[in-house]
Amino acid sequence: MFRQLTKSQRYIARQTFKSKLPTPTGLVSLRIPPTPMHIPTAARFYSVSTQGENLDGKIDQISDGEYNKISNEYLENLADELEELNGSYEQVDAELSHGVLTLTLPPNGTYVINKQPPNKQIWLSSPISGPKRYDLIQGHWRTLRDGSLLTELLESEISEALKTDFKFESVSL
């Protein structure tokens, strides 16, 4: 999509340059053609999922301020519990910085959990289950693809890596 956007911008620039023609008054007129594609905005309006499912009313409609408060609290709670885990397992390392939580969990690898404010989502990059996007649905960070919860997926993968049953205690969402 970025490539298409860049192509569109170059097309507009060429057409604008070609259309600079002198007018009888000596002024230059610019003709800007309509863009050939829709340029997305930061606003997010749900209606249909990628599988064609109607999403109206499924995703919690929250303000930007509410999103920031909820997502920051969630990531901070995750980071706090993961840092406590480091006390028992030295190889586990978790760091939260500017809305990005990085978890190093041998033998799995590195997880990246980050905020996506324009979409009001939290994204996960897992070395085991791959990339996923989570929306706030009924107060829980849930993916629309398979309905799984972010907290439960992390608990499962951490438990498997550490060969012990791991549950987040203070993470409510």
In a domain, residue 24? The reply is no
In a domain, residue 169? The reply is no
In a domain, residue 92? The reply is yes
**CA-to-CA distance for 110 and 64, rounded, in angstroms?**
29
Domain with residue 88: its CATH number is 3.30.920.10
The tens-digit pLDDT sequence of the chain (173 residues) is: 445 545 555 555 555 544 444 545 555 545 555 555 544 444 444 445 556 566 667 899 999 999 999 999 999 999 999 999 988 888 899 999 999 999 999 999 999 999 999 999 999 999 999 999 999 999 999 999 999 999 999 999 999 999 999 999 987 65
Q: Where are the beta strands (DSSP E) in 19-164?
A: 21-22, 28-29, 93-97, 100-105, 109-116, 121-126, 130-137, 140-142
**CA-to-CA distance for 144 and 52, rounded, in angstroms?**
11
SS3 for 127?
coil
Query: What amino acid occupies position 7?
Result: K
In a domain, residue 46? The reply is no
First-to-last C-alpha distance (Å) of the chain: 32
* CB 122, CB 116: distance < 8 Å: yes
In terms of Cβ atoms closer than 10 Å to its own Cβ (0-12, 13-18, 19+), residue 103 is buried
Q: How many domains does the chain have?
A: 1
In a domain, residue 11? The reply is no
In a domain, residue 4? The reply is no
In a domain, residue 44? The reply is no
In a domain, residue 91? The reply is yes
Q: Which of 153, 150, 128 is CA-nearest to residue 71?
A: 150
Range of the domain at 158: 64-162
